Amino acid sequence: MGSGAVRARYLVYFQYLGTDFNGVAAVRGAQRAVGVQNYLEEAAAKLKSVVPVKFVISSRTDAGVHALSNAAHLDVQRHSGQPPFPPEVLTEALNSHLRHPDIR
């Protein structure tokens, strides 16, 4: 961790309609297929964490499969002097930055 930076770990629950996705896991590279995790991490990038935010997802789904509830943890490291996000602020921020309407 950097000088005085505070890291907080969060447990998040999310749901999605899987029709448009190649499963929940992130798809890396120049492929057209996209996983739910790609959108979650893109939204989390807007939190301006000191280090990139990665979602550690508890279970996987295949392409086209929906999930009523899934869980993941993520670490957000804020700059020195900034307190951790309250859980409700993190939830609101992630939801507002998600670019796909089928993930919440």
Do 4 and 81 touch, CB atoms closer than 8 A?
Answer: yes
Residue ranges per structural domain of the chain: 6-97
Answer CATH for 6-97 from 3.90.1170.30, 3.65.10.10, 2.60.40.10, 3.30.70.580: 3.30.70.580
* pLDDT band for position 33 (cuts 50, 70, 90): confident
Residues serving a catalytic function are 62
CA distances from 93 to 4, 32, 58, 67 (A): 24, 27, 21, 21
Residue 10 backbone phi and psi in degrees, to 5: -125, 145
pLDDT in tens, 46-102: 999 999 999 999 999 999 999 999 999 999 999 999 999 999 999 999 999 999 999
Q: Read off the pTM.
A: 0.90
